[in-house]
Chains A and B, each alone.
Chain A
């Protein structure tokens, strides 16, 4: 504000004193607050820089809090994944033990351990990081998997895994335990035929014979069948080998050897006096041997297949159930519905990949995907095989129980390893570790940028105490000088020097 003229005092002088005074006041405020200005206008041309830097800083802070937040989730997830992988390893080792001692509930100690492992596994898959389920894809408020008792036993309306297992066993073994094969003999001709075109039971894939005096045909079909027509007398030691495909895709060869001994040993048939006698012995050997396969490897393979049916599910693949009752003569699988079958995975199951189901923006240009689903192949495979190993039970007086257990154990052991190209839990772990590394890198970058921005902002918005101090000092000097001069000037009036 300009001052109007007052007396003899120079108004320019007064103006400059006032200016100096207000500048001094402002410097004092700067010294106190450390801020160059209380308004954006006071920052002058640096306003834009200050605004942009503030917004960048704020963005960096929010990215950092995202990183911290999601970082916790990822650490928790890593622990869960490590735990799950350890469990899978433990059960893999236990499953291939050949020691067969069962307890009252028909299970070995290893199976009991597997049952506990399943509980733990499901617990790990339901891991939460701050109310957030980590293995449910984007349905972070939904538990990832059902409890082990629901998984195994289901409830009043939903079939659990044990029921699926039992139905599949019925379907694979058939009522007579012969793996859905019909073994018939007409005179000297023995026919082994699949009872229907179905995914169940033993599938005849090939037959090879070294028998002389017998015509071996097959496998024809469908349904596949083979025929051994004895026309003469085979020589002892000659063999018929039948290859079966089991429900889990494994192959089993049944080799019957001609012998002169009577009664014949295991997998042998006695060369009779007539072709019909030989055929009769051959038929009996077939019945015995196939029944044994049914009670051992087929049972184990059926359990594996049931596990695939129950566990290999996603949004487009519902669980598969034997189309029955009756189950022992069923010829197909039907989709289990959410109304009648337990859905073991209860999280989100969209068409996109598990990883992309959840993502976090950690940089203006960088988004990290870190979604996980319990039904991803690696995790599913572990749950499935631990569950199937824990589920099958045996009876103490069953002579085939030990073989069946071994067949199951070796299958579970192999399946827990899985083929080379199959996703493993460690693969998930590695991918999450990749995300963690990206987080760390971003965090370091952010802290560097934010230090730089804070420094710059301080330069733009802040003041240096030394600077302000020096300015105050020099201003004080000139203000004092001005005031003194003004005082002197005002005293220098002729009035003072006139003698009265």
Chain B
């Protein structure tokens, strides 16, 4: 090996040291840059004819654990989901109020029952009457405002989806653009590594928005799929679109049918132009988007349903009057009921024993004025043991009688209309059934009927009858519309006076209201999430209200626990990832020392060669 060769080797060493130094400098400078991974550089010995003739700078390497990175991305989605859901639940908790505060739902309800209790003790006392009316108004207003809060949280989720979709589109474009740039750089140098860092960072951010699956390809390219397998970024980015709605109310629900949809839906348009509805295909399973969707379409809807169940049960418990039919001794035996005062949404029913199987059955007929909602499902009433038949009253009474007859034709009960609005229900002669009861449940719409029932709460200014219409069930969103009857506000004495002559001290009506609210067992619609279709929750109204608060508080603390768990998992994964990838200043400094020493050594070699050459020249 000649001196010139040694000189060349020393120069290549200096080059390698400089390259190493620039990597160290880059690492130190980017120590706090998000998404930056520690870079290292490979040095390759160059040999010729078995003789080492220098060093060559190799590829710039990114230090990362691909397995941890994959896990981290999946947990990123889970953690964002849990985090977002928990923060919404925190906000939702606010509407139920602070425990024991005057503004909490249960305090306001308790105040209402206390006012009724006071009225029951002093029905003649005008201030007690006014007290009941004003506490009922407070309760109605509380339900209105809670319902509005729930809907504004849903609106928040709706706009959250819009923002998340926008960010996702940006990130997908970035990833795609970075893919292209990475493909173009054919050298594994620092700039390529930096591009890959940027791409990883974008993918990490995307993984917070929705659950994704990253598939590495040739030439450092990646394809990004949703967790469910739809392509988000391939050669080109796909586009997410979301038709956000500005305001939501309780009736605004997601539906696959665009004409019935009151909220936006997320559509994925792939580069080749096929749109896919991600909500319909349930393609989003985690991440912020999944949390927003869960909140908008499930959790908050459930909270709204619970408020609606409280409002509608309260209104109908006070206004609905059940009248048992007149027994017909026969034979054929049965019952006569008068369906003349059945309002839209009101019911009349027949209970009978099927003699063959000796089982008790019940058929509930519901008055429907909008035939487009027919047929009704059995879930139309909270009662789980009845068969529900909607009867269209819009076509006149003749049609009503024949609809009832047809509905009963296979049961062994003969229905007829002997006169007026009387429904005559008897055994049809085949002796298959024993009719055990028949009754009508009608909504009382005025105060002085002689009944203790009263229309205390109204749906804005209309009676709450639980009607079914194509625009929705009346109970849906009722919590946002419930009001105290204006006639009662104008004349609170109607809280006591139920007949033509009611003495001032007669507490029949106050006692009735009180017992309906706190003593009578009611059945609640299972769409509130409390109780199931087969065994709906039965209990007192105040008990149900407490169940609702407890349900929400449990849901909120579960969401919070889930979030804390996810945080721990995510932090530890981040720690593991960072252990491997992050810049450790100490390491860099010791590398720096190495490089300095090596540089000095290479320089020493050069100076030695120079001296030797000088010696040679001066000979």
Residues of A within 8 A of B (CB): 1-8, 10-12, 15, 35, 37-44, 47-48, 50-52, 54-55, 58-59, 61-63, 65-66, 69-70, 130-132, 136-142, 348, 357-361, 371, 457, 461, 493-495, 498
Contact = CB atoms under 8 A, between A and B. Distances in A.
B583 A7 contact: yes
Task: Place the interface of chain B in its size category.
Answer: 35 or more
A50 B106 CA distance: 10
Contacts of A52: 546
Nearest to B502: A138
Contact of A8 (B504, B577, B585): B585
> Residue among A3, A35, A47, A66 with the most chain B CB within 10 A?
A47
B567 interface: yes
B507 A41 contact: no
Contact of A63 (B117, B125, B578): B117
A47 B553 CA distance: 7
A35 B98 contact: yes
Interface in B318-337: none
A66 B121 contact: yes
Given A69-B118, A361-B117, A58 B111 contact: yes
Given A40-B553, A55-B546, A498-B593, A15 B96 contact: no
A357 B505 contact: yes
B118 A132 contact: no
B118 A66 contact: yes
A359 B507 contact: yes
Contacts of B554: 41, 47
Contacts of B110: 54-55, 58-59
In the A-B complex, the 8 residue pairs with the closest CB atoms: A41-B556, A58-B110, A140-B505, A40-B553, A141-B504, A138-B505, A62-B117, A62-B114
Contacts of B560: 41
8 contacts: A38-B98, A40-B99, A41-B553, A69-B121, A138-B504, A141-B124, A457-B100, A493-B589
A311 B124 CA distance: 28
A140 B546 CA distance: 37
A155 B503 CA distance: 26
A6 B503 contact: no
B549 interface: yes
Contact of B553 (A43, A141, A495): A43
B114 A51 contact: no
Interface in B520-548: 542, 546
Contacts of B575: 5, 10-12
B226 interface: no
Contacts of B114: 58-59, 61-62, 65
Contacts of B511: 361
Contacts of A495: 585, 589
B107 interface: yes
B99 A50 contact: yes
Contacts of B572: 12
Contacts of B34: 4-5
> Residue among A6, A51, A137 with the most chain B CB within 10 A?
A51
Interface string B123-146: 111000000000000000000000
Contact of A4 (B574, B583, B584, B592): B574
Interface string B149-164: 0000000000000000
Interface in B271-320: none
B399 to A, nearest CB: 46
Contacts, number: 182
Interface in B551-583: 552-554, 556-557, 560, 567, 570-572, 574-575, 577-578, 582-583
A2 B81 CA distance: 13
B416 interface: no
Contacts of A140: 123-124, 503-505
Interface stretch (B1-9, B87-95, B166-174, B417-425): B87-95
A139 B504 contact: yes
Nearest to A1: B83
B197 to A, nearest CB: 13
Contacts of B549: 40, 47, 51
A41 B570 CA distance: 24
A461 B557 contact: no
B504 A6 contact: no
B390 to A, nearest CB: 37
B48 interface: no
A1 B518 CA distance: 42
Nearest to B573: A2
Nearest to A6: B32
B550 interface: yes
Contacts of A461: 99-100
B550 A66 contact: no
A39 B93 contact: yes
B252 interface: no
B509 to A, nearest CB: 12
Given A5-B574, A138-B503, 14 more contacts: A5-B577, A7-B582, A11-B575, A35-B98, A35-B99, A38-B98, A40-B550, A47-B99, A52-B546, A59-B113, A62-B114, A66-B121, A358-B507, A371-B505
A5 B570 CA distance: 11
Nearest to B93: A39
Contacts of A142: 503-504
A7 B574 contact: no
Contacts of B590: 494
B190 to A, nearest CB: 20
B503 A11 contact: no
A217 to B, nearest CB: 57
B122 interface: yes
Nearest to B510: A361
B570 A40 contact: no
Contact of B31 (A7, A12, A44, A69): A7
Contacts of A138: 503-506
A12 B577 CA distance: 12
A132 B124 contact: yes
A467 to B, nearest CB: 18
A53 to B, nearest CB: 10
B220 interface: no
B435 interface: no
Contacts of A348: 503, 505
A484 to B, nearest CB: 20
B586 interface: yes
Nearest to B94: A39
B120 interface: yes
B552 A40 contact: yes
A2 B570 contact: yes
A140 B504 CA distance: 6
Contacts of A38: 98
A137 B503 contact: yes
B389 interface: no
A41 B124 contact: no
B582 A39 contact: no
A490 B124 CA distance: 77
A495 B511 CA distance: 82
A151 to B, nearest CB: 22
Contacts of B546: 48, 51-52, 55
B89 A41 contact: yes
Contacts of A55: 106, 110, 542, 546
B317 to A, nearest CB: 17
A12 B89 CA distance: 26
Nearest to B572: A12
B595 interface: no
Contacts of A6: 32
A430 B575 CA distance: 82
B557 A65 contact: no
B79 interface: yes
Contact of B505 (A61, A65, A132, A498): A132
Contacts of B585: 7-8, 493-495
A5 B107 contact: no
B207 to A, nearest CB: 13
A136 B106 CA distance: 38
A446 to B, nearest CB: 13
